[in-house]
Structure 1
């Protein structure tokens, strides 16, 4: 499923292909996505803020997409409607994003809203950590319509 997601991102959101974004792992706690520093570098030899923002935003969208597929919802419209990104420290190595898997309660509430109203929203958090230091912190609200 992760390879399918990566292909979908690269074909439907070309920026992710140029960033060389890779969907690496999904476990019970996190979705891990990565992108190499070199194609995402700025004039200070650190990761470009636009790439960092894209990675955390797309990663959160991706966990929403994967969980909706697990719940049996295909072809949903998913869009970020509100987000907050804090840049805490520069990223000087490859970008590694950890996106928190929503709780069972959050997912059940979203499922119920989709079944009853055909739309709902969910909050998703991502972060980029380098050498045990929080570099980027992201919180987004994603709306889903079926």
Structure 2
């Protein structure tokens, strides 16, 4: 059981040059952030600079039988946090990440199971973040999340994620 004000232990970093086991990361995430267990995340995959979740709609229904905007907004924010955290972990860095700003545009109702895709807003975003971390010990990256229900783009979100200096 999580306690208020007590940080959850970090997941050990992967071996040098290694990749995270996505299932193990997702299991840790569910322990670290209790609401994750109720989000309906079925699978998490990474392809280069793209992180994707496959999700079930049922745990995220609203009173109209479609996707609840608050749950979808929380998912986009959390997916961006995961993208940034996993990016850091691949570089052997265990750092705190926070969302600094987030916006969402709801484009169509979510009427079935869906996927959320997160990637950098700018092609040079990861390189710029790496440079700022090297020079200043902290940095930010802008990420875009898109929610697809089949071939329909239902939600587009943007978030700025800050990597805090080492404690």
Query: TM-score higher than 0.5 here?
Result: yes
Distance, in Å, in 2 between the alignment partners of 1:64 and 1:107 is: 9
Number of positions where the alignment pairs a residue of Structure 1 with one of Structure 2 = 145
Q: CA-atom RMSD, angstroms?
A: 1.6
Assess if the C-alpha contact under 8 Å between 2:41 and 2:53 holds in 1. yes
Structure 1 gaps of 5+ residues are none
Select the structure that is richer in strand: 1
Q: CA deviation at 1:115?
A: 2.1
Instruction: Report matched runs for 1:1-146 at 5 Å.
Output: 1=20, 2-74=22-94, 76-101=95-120, 105-145=124-164, 146=166
Higher RCO (C-alpha 8 Å, min separation 6) = 1
Distance, in Å, in 2 between the alignment partners of 1:54 and 1:126 is: 11
Assess if the C-alpha contact under 8 Å between 1:5 and 1:62 holds in 2. no
Following TM superposition, the consecutive aligned residue runs of length 4 or more in structure 1 with deviations greater than 3 angstroms are 101-104
Which position in structure 1 is the counterpart of 2:8? none
Structure 2 gaps of 5+ residues are 1-19
Distance, in Å, in 2 between the alignment partners of 1:3 and 1:103 is: 28
Structure with the greater alpha carbon radius of gyration: 2
Select the structure that is richer in helix: 1
| TM-score using structure 1 length | 0.90
